[in-house]
Structure 1
């Protein structure tokens, strides 16, 4: 069990590094994980992706500190996703892609934002 947790953590950290590199540089494109990738990945890979995304959100929250800028999305991400654990989040994403098989090109992060975080965060 310890080894599995270590692999999940390592996968999440690698994903976090990939997501963080060109965050401010508009001249660079980063790989985008879509539903096509999601449905072909194993449950462990899906959890690793979510762990990496959560790490990036947590990192951004830490960097922004106690008073985030007015136009930040971090409050919505944190409040909206706090309603889920990783298994529930993965199941909700699975369910959305299963109900929308014609939308597998939609990025997973977009599904997380519009289908999970924003609805649960309310009017922030």
Structure 2
């Protein structure tokens, strides 16, 4: 439990750092796009992905094995679609996608993860 809480604290700190680094107020946290992604360090990219992973883990733990229906939450599909991936494999996948699509740097990173990794992962696990 202490380890889980410390991970959550690190994630919160990373998300606050990302928010402050983009100069945003708390009421207008921007979607991170490929532009910010490609300009970020490996450590910042990992912090972003850890934040997403922790959000998914907290939601799954909250529902204690009884996930809400797909119509009410994308979290179970997100977790299932990324099953078998590591933070590094997701980071590398996002890096590759933006490298091969430099004309789409305005696309939000979360959208890229969803359509390029989660959806294909769901289709292979049917």
Task: Please give the range of the TM-score, normalised by the shorter of the 2 chains.
Answer: 0.7 to 0.9
Residues 1:66 and 2:65 aligned together: yes
In the other structure, the counterpart of 2:80 is 79
- Unaligned regions of 5+ residues in structure 1, if any? 1-5, 19-27
The SS at the match of 1:54 is helix
TM-score by length of 1: 0.75
For 1:15 and 1:113, locate their aligned partners in 2 and report how far apart those are by CA, in whole Å: 21
Contact 2:15 2:47 in 1 (8 A): no
- Unaligned regions of 5+ residues in structure 2, if any? 1-5, 18-26
For 1:76 and 1:44, locate their aligned partners in 2 and report how far apart those are by CA, in whole Å: 26
Contact 1:76 1:121 in 2 (8 A): yes
Contact 2:37 2:109 in 1 (8 A): yes
After TM superposition, which residue ranges in structure 1, 4 or more long, deviate above 3 angstroms? 15-18
Q: What is the CA distance between 1:112 and its match in structure 2?
A: 0.8
Q: What is the CA distance between 1:109 and its match in structure 2?
A: 0.5
Contact 1:83 1:120 in 2 (8 A): no
